[in-house]
Amino acid sequence: MELCTACIWTSVQWSHTLTPNRRASYHGSTRSISSVSQRRRRSTLCITNAASTSAPASYQSTTQLPRTNGSGIKSISGDKPSSALEQLDIERGVCIPFRKYTPEMVRKKVLDSRGSILSLASRGAEIIWKLGFYWSSLVYDFLVGRDEEIVPYRARQLRNLLCDLGPSFIKAGQVLANRPDIIREDYMNELCILQDDVPSFPNQVAFAIIEEELGQPLERVFSKISSQTIAAASLGQVYRATLRETGEDVAIKVQRPGIEPIIYRDLFLFRTLASFLNGISLQKLGCNAELIVDEFGEKLLEELDYTLEARNIEDFLENFKDDPTVKIPRVYKQLSGSRALVMEWIDGIRCTDPQAIKEAGIDVEGFLTVGVSAALRQLLEFGLFHGDPHPGNIFAMRDGRIAYVDFGNVAVLSQQNKQILIDAVVHAVNEDYAEMANDFTRLGFLARGTDVSPIIPALEAIWQNSAGKGLADFNFRSVTGKFNQLVYNYPIRIPERFSLVIRSLLTQEGICFTLKPDFKFLEVAYPYVAKRLLTDPNPALRERLIQVLFKDGAFQWKRLENLIVLAKENVSKMSSNPALQKNSSQAVRSRQLQSKLDLTETIKDGARMFLIDAGIRRQLILAFTEDSKLHVEELVDVYRLVEDQIDMPSVALEVLQDLPSVARDFMLSWSDSILSDRQY
């Protein structure tokens, strides 16, 4: 969401100085955050089915389903889930037991309301008239041959039209600004303006809503409140206030009045229209138009409920509780409700102001390193990431930390999705473009059964052209531009959560370039990924590490050395970051943990796998003896890279302590192999 829930203390006029009738009861600072898992609590049930990581790499049964440009992609609609929402759950790898949105619930809520038929008819007529007139203008431009030269004007016209049609259409425009599979890039660029430029509603209305949610007058809770909005968005706006009880500064996010019935009515009309467009959508995107509306509606209704945003904040606080480089504002739940949210005020510097950041004495390189690492942790470690990290939602704290605000739009990646993303990275490293294309199917970009062979050459061309430039010239925007052409020309649909991933990476890369034009995003991202591959105890990542180290059956010694060098670089950058230099026990503990590359678990797992897994043992022995020579020199080079990072006596002791368990597993593995041999 585009709201900025905190910003610098600027020249906002404080015209509302409140006098209390009595002091409000307030105990927000003593509230303890309940323990939550590092993955989102609402997504608790895993689905194991055709979309799982063990799914076949390709599906061969196909029928012709070309896109209008004749791309030749084939797709099949067999084995279709019983509903669009079930299909979304399969793609995500999760089951959501309690939903804010279902088509049936929306239909019932709209049709059961008073005067629903008249309201739907008048709103439908308004939408059809305005959109129909715009569409007829596009047709006229095409017929007279001026459709290309007038694109900038028509893009602005579309943006203004969506603003006129209200909050549902503004949100739809914001979504389209990240959907190259649906609209052209020049239109996307114009719709990006909708992220920030939204008019506010009157203060009196906003204050009345806040009082309703508080259940008491404003003056009992706040000693003062800003007379101007700090930020305004399609669904709400933000004020700054001071708590009377504690004197703390807070941000108050308040929802637009009467917005819920408008959203429900428009979602009903969207889905009704989508049912007539399924044929076109299947041809161009490989999925029903209803599925796209369901994705949009589900996310939109989540953003409408500020209690869910409060839960998002708590989850982010839990995820980053041991990270002294990241600041997440706490939420005052006892002062918040479904239409108003009270949060800690973030007194930071906007990321779009490099001069102010430098004047504050903040190390720009260190701050950007912290930001990239925090973004990658959200994406690949927690699976819960900020879906709208535009410059108004990210701040530089004066101690070098990065601060995030506005958690209405967050996205969840299941363990399955995270593993497939890492698979895609591994396949890119190994230049296995056929498997990269299959990863697209497993992630939901392509319909099940799609023939991916026409996409493989396009993926290869995009990656080789971008990666061939090296880290120095690689940037996500150039890759995304080429990828946008790919998804527009083939029946590829970008799932909502991945459109947020793409937007998140692009936005944060743009912030990096604003603050430091020569900043190399991948020079920070690669070391982080290398460190995770080498140190993460997740068995799935261990398997991916092996895939990276072996190519065409040959062990990649140089690749292992590069991974170690990059991982050490990540540890060095993070441990020396100014944000870690605070005199706090948390920072001291973090420096102790991050000062070295901890390979203990990796070495223990490697020893275990060597003893137990005959296939790995055979591969490693071949790696040491391939090309009819012992690779002692390479092994010595690897040891020299890690000898200053590990305490070999301690590691050896831990391996010995683990020996009984390893011996048991070895005996079980050996007995299984003996029994299986006897069966034959």
Start-end of CATH 3.30.200.20 domains in the chain? 196-257+305-345
Report helix, strand or coil for 176. Answer: helix
Residue 516 burial by Cβ neighbours in a 10 Å radius (0-12, 13-18, 19+): middle
Which stretches of the chain drop beneath a pLDDT of 70?
A: 1-99, 178, 180-181, 195-197, 284-286, 465-475, 488, 575-596, 600-601, 611-612, 626-630, 645-648, 651, 654-655, 662, 665-666, 669-670, 672-680
Q: What is the 3-state secondary structure (H, E, C) of 200-226?
A: CCCHHHHHHHHHHHHCCCHHHHEEEEC
SS (H, E, C) 37-86: CCCCCCCCEECCCCCCCCCCCCCCCCEECCCCCCCCCEECCCCCCCCHHH
What fold, for 196-257+305-345? Phosphorylase Kinase; domain 1 (3.30.200)
Which amino acid is present at 363?
D
- CB contact at 8 A, 334 and 28: yes
Distance (Å, whole) CA 528 – CA 546? 18
Q: Which residues pair with 16 in a beta bridge?
A: 225
Specify whether the CB–CB gap between 251 and 5 falls below 8 A.
Answer: yes
Distance in angstroms (rounded) separating the CA atoms of residues 328 and 316: 7
Catalogue the active-site residues.
388
Distance CA 428, CA 439 (A): 11
Q: Give me the pLDDT at residue 238, please.
A: 94
Count of Cβ atoms closer than 10 Å to residue 264 Cβ: 23
Which sign does the torsion angle of CA 355, 358, 362, 368 carry? positive
Q: Which of 212, 208, 207 is nearest to 227 (CA)?
A: 207
Parallel, antiparallel, or unpaired for β 222-225 and 16-17?
antiparallel
Give residue for tokens 């590829």.
492
* 461 CB-near residues (< 8 Å, 6+ apart): none
Looking at residue 214, what is its pLDDT? 93
Closest among 577, 646, 579, 578 to 606, alpha carbons compared: 646
409 three-state secondary structure:
coil
Beta-ladder partners of 412: 384
Widest CA span in the chain:
89
Instruction: State residue 591's pLDDT score.
Output: 43
Beta-carbon-side half-sphere exposure of residue 27 (alpha carbons within 13 Å): 4
pLDDT at 403: 94
pLDDT reported for residue 343: 96
CB neighbour burial string for 207-241, b if at least 16 within 10 angstroms, e if fewer: bebbbebbeeebbbbbbbbbebbbbbbbbbbbbbb
d(C-alpha 251, C-alpha 242), whole Å: 9
Beta-bridged to residue 224, according to DSSP, are 17, 242
Given this model, what pLDDT does residue 274 score? 87
| pLDDT score at 42 | 39
At residue 343, φ and ψ (nearest 5 deg) are: -130, 160
